[in-house]
Amino acid sequence: LNIPPRTPGRTRLGVMGGTFDPIHHGHLVAASEVATVFDLDEVVFVPTGEPWQKAGQDVSDAEDRYLMTVVATASNPRFTVSRVDIERHGPTYTIDTLRDLHTQRPEAELFFITGADAMAEILTWKGAEELWRLARFVGVTRPGHVLSAPVGSESVSLLNVPAMAISSTDCRARVAAGKPVWYLVPDGVVQYINKYGLYRGAATDRPPGH
């Protein structure tokens, strides 16, 4: 594992992008582990605006996904949440996320954290070559997916993190089926989901205007 030496005067900022519909312990463990191993000063979670990979799928309101991410990360002094992607119009591309964060935090070295499934698709992302210049990429293991660095990629590190066989898709399906999501997502997120009736399925869709 090649961990670059710290550059004096520069902060090390992890970037955890995701739909977070809802955020779960797989996301949190991955971010925490990368922060420890790469000696990051902070990890910023960035909920997507309109995820282009999920076009045509039913994604929860950005504001609900943002608030669940805030609730889930509030107790960790090194975790923060950014609105850059939900405030930009149009579909979310990682290249825009990294450009915006670089503009806001020019002193920071960026470490983009991505699970094995997303790592496999990275070369299909818009602006793949510029991505390597803007950030170091840290690909983390995820149960059910094979982790490998994309061919021709620079600045990619691969890291084993504790295996959490959890996905947001499974959490949504569990809520829709009336099964518990306790211990898969943080307690505050369970309560948020219940309070606003998220994921209850088409039959009990939220009332218009909610």
Contact residues for ligand ATP, defined by CB under 6 A? 18-21, 26-27, 30, 114-115, 117-118, 140, 142, 164, 166-169
What is the C-alpha to C-alpha distance for residues 14 and 38, in angstroms, rounded to an integer?
9
SS3 state at 134: helix
Q: Which is nearer to ligand ATP, 9 or 202 (CB)?
A: 202
Cis peptide before 22 (omega within 30 of 0): yes
Q: Which residues pair with 13 in a beta bridge?
A: 42, 110
- Between residues 108 and 122, which has the closer beta carbon with respect to ligand ATP? 122
Shortest CB 163 distance to ligand ATP, Å: 7
Cα 112 versus chain centre, distance: 9
Could you tell me if 141 and 163 are in contact, meaning their C-beta atoms sit under 8 angstroms apart? Answer: yes
d(CA 85, CA 15): 12
The least distance separating ligand ATP from the CB of residue 49, rounded to whole angstroms, comes to 13
Q: Which of the 8 DSSP states describes residue 92?
A: E
Q: Tell the smallest beta-carbon distance from residue 168 to ligand ATP (Å).
A: 3
Angle, CA of 39, 42 and 47, to the nearest 5°:
130
Residue nearest to ligand ATP (CB): 115
CB of 57 to ligand ATP, least distance (A): 8
Q: In angstroms, give the least distance from the CB of 115 to ligand ATP.
A: 2
CB nearer ligand ATP, residue 108 or residue 185? 185
Of 18 and 49, the one with the shorter C-beta distance to ligand ATP is: 18
Instruction: Tell how strand 136-140 and strand 156-159 pair up.
Output: parallel
CB nearer ligand ATP, residue 136 or residue 142: 142
